[in-house]
Amino acid sequence: MLPRPPFPPKILAVLAVFALAGCQAGSTPRGVPSVPQIGADLKCATGDHGFEDQQAGWGFCYPDTWRYTERAQAYPSPRELDLTFDITFAPSPAVACPNPRPPGTGACPGDFAFMILSTYERGSSADLASWFDANQKTAPQLEEISWGNALEAARLPDGRRVALTPHQVVIMDLHSGLLDLETEMSSRLGTWKFSY
C-alpha cells in the first residue's frame, strides 16, 4: 500500500491558487520608502532637484545640472550650524564649451562655486534688526526681500541674505566662481521652505 500525502490534493490546489494570486500585479498598495526622500515635499520646477536638511530646518530647489559636496560644522555657543556646499556644473550629457569662452556663454562643465548656509538660534529677538543688535557687533543696513516662507527676510549690503523663522535665523552667503550662483539662487528664493 502507498503512503498517503500529508495534504489532500484539493487543499494543495487551493494553496497553489493563493500563492499565484499573491504574485499577480494589481491594485495592491505599494510600500512606502522607509528612508525620507530628500526634498520630496518641496515644489521644484521641472529640471530642478530638492535639498532638505531636517536638522537645519530648511530646504530649497537647485538646478539638476549641479553636483555638490556638503560639509557641516556646528558651534555650541552660541548655537550655530554651518553647511557648506562646493558646487560644480556637471550637465548630463556633457556639453562642449567654446575655447576661448566669449562673454555671456553661460555655464560650462566644471565651472564651480561655493555656498555657506548658516543657521542660528533666534532667541527672544522680535525681528531681524533686534537679532543683529543682540548677536553682531553692528547692525547692518537691511533691504527687505521675500524669501520662501520666512517671517522676515533681507539682503545685506555685502550681498548675503538673511531670513527670520519662528525659531531660527538663516544666512545665505554665495561665493560665485565661474558658476553664477547669484542668478541661480536668487531666482529660486521662492522655493525655500523653513520648517521651524
Could you give all domains of the chain from N- to C-terminal order, each with its CATH number? 43-194 (3.40.1000)
Neighbours of 26 (CB within 10 A): 5
Instruction: Give bridge partners of residue 59 from the DSSP assignment.
Output: 52, 193
Residue the block writes with cell 493563493: 18
Per-residue confidence of the chain (196 residues) as pLDDT tens digits?
Answer: 445 545 455 544 444 444 444 444 444 444 444 444 455 678 899 989 999 988 889 999 999 999 999 999 988 866 789 999 999 999 988 888 888 887 777 888 999 999 999 999 999 999 999 999 998 877 789 999 999 999 999 999 999 999 999 999 999 999 988 899 999 999 999 999 998 7
H or E segment at 72? Answer: strand 66-75
CA–CA separation, 31 and 14 (whole Å): 27
pTM for this prediction: 0.76
